[in-house]
Amino acid sequence: MQIQVETITFCILISFVGIFIFLERKYPYTKGYPFFRDGFWIDLVWYTLIQSFFLKILIFDYIIQPLEVKFNLSSLRLVSEWPIAWQVLFFLITHDLYIYWFHRWQHNNKILWRTHEAHHSVTQVDWIAGSRSHVVEIIINQTIEFAPIILLGANPMVVPIKACIDAVWGMYIHSNIDVKSGKWQYFINGPEMHQWHHAKGREVFYSNYSTKFAFWDWMFGSAYLPDKKPLDFGLYYKYPKDYFFQHIFSVKRFDEDTLRKYKFWANYLDLRQNILRWCAEVIRSSSSQKMKDRIL
Ligand SMILES: [Zn+2]
Ligand SMILES: [Zn+2]
């Protein structure tokens, strides 16, 4: 049953990837973005696939599971008797309220900002831009999100259902789609407000902290929704492009470009480009060899 739910939620997720990509091409919020925009591969390979894979193991197997073994709170079955839909809704709303305040704190605290700036470093915000989150930010947020679900004895299906809703909603609010939701923007968060949250400018740095429900911003006085679109996105200072450098930068400031003076770092920074070039060369030469064989 659990595996079935995970398969279904994975299929839903992949379907939404296709839907958002299609809508971004058809109705772009900001026109002219290439599909493989700057940082696309870092977001897909490092943040979405590799980082998520390892952090899932760390958070569930090495943080939440030992907590469960030690305290055995799930045996109290505090929410177990509720219908699954109520459990999902309860954790959606409570976690969303937490994430609003933690996100707000990250923007207002110099140390916590270091765990959040990676998320704001994307200069062309699209469906996959939301995946760019610092390791520490993910560990804190996902532990606080999933530990109560398991420790309060929720139905095991709640975790994959909630994770799927998170992923789809995360893609939606970051998507480069020109959504006009009218009065719904007071309730459901979407690209109209979250694109502004990623804008480069001090007037929006302390606005639009909501993730799923926009009413937190309207209730707590941080909503910003002018009748225009932002011109620039990203940080107002220089930020590394490399995944590992982005994490080192949160601890020690440096200029990625000056590292190119050193042969080792120059080779490292060009490694991905050289591997891609080498792969393209291998494909080209093998296909031309096949053509020759066919002619002979
Ligand atoms: Zn933010
Ligand atoms: Zn965001």
**C-alpha 129 – ligand 1 centre gap (Å):** 12
Ligand number nearest CA of 108 is: 1
- 23 and 108 in a single domain? The answer is yes
Stretch 66-70: mean pLDDT: 93
Read off the pTM.
0.90
More confident residue, 77 or 223: 223
Domain that holds residue 263: 256-295
State in Å: Cα 103 to ligand 2 middle: 10
CA-to-CA separations, 248 to 135, 167, 206, in angstroms, rounded: 11, 26, 25
Q: How many domains does the chain have?
A: 2
Same domain, 236 and 286: no
Long-range contacts of 195-199 (CB under 8 A, 24+ apart): 195/29, 195/30, 195/125, 195/229, 195/230, 195/233, 196/224, 196/225, 196/226, 196/230, 198/120, 198/122, 198/125, 198/129, 198/174, 198/230, 198/233, 198/234, 199/230, 199/231, 199/232, 199/233
The rounded percent of the chain whose pLDDT value lies above 90 is 80
- What is the Å distance from ligand 1's center to 1 Cα? 37
Given a cut of 70, whether residue 1 has pLDDT beyond it is no
Same-domain check for residues 44 and 135: yes
Q: Give the distance (Å) from ligand 1 centre to CA of residue 253.
A: 20
* Average of per-residue pLDDT values in the chain: 93
- The ligand with the least distance to the CA atom of 169 is 2
Number of the ligand closest to the Cα of 107 = 1
Q: Which ligand is nearest to the CA of 43?
A: 2
Q: Are residues 189 and 268 in the same domain?
A: no
Do 230 and 277 share a domain, yes or no? no
Looking at the fold, whether 136 and 202 belong to one and the same domain comes out as yes
**Taking 80 as the threshold, does the pLDDT of residue 291 lie above it?**
no
Shared domain for 191 and 278, answered yes or no, is: no
Average pLDDT, stretch 228-239? 94
Over residues 69-86, mean pLDDT: 88
CA dist 106 and 115 (Å) reads: 8
Distance 101 CA to ligand 2 centre (A): 14
**In which band, very low, low, confident or very high, does the pLDDT at 72 lie, cut at 50, 70 and 90?**
confident
Q: In this structure, are 147 and 53 located in the same domain? A: yes
Same domain, 198 and 283: no
The answer on 229 and 112 residing in a single domain is: yes
pLDDT for 149-190, tens place per residue? 999 999 999 999 999 999 999 999 999 999 999 999 999 999
Q: Are residues 160 and 104 in the same domain?
A: yes
Distance 100 CA to ligand 2 centre (A): 12
Q: Give 197 Cα–ligand 2 centroid separation in angstroms.
A: 7
Region 266-284 average pLDDT:
85
Among 234, 249, 264, the domain-final residue is 249
- Does 201 lie in the same domain as 260? no
| Closest residue by Cα to residue 132 from 238, 214, 246, 30 | 246
Ligand 1 centroid to 239 CA: how many Å?
Answer: 16
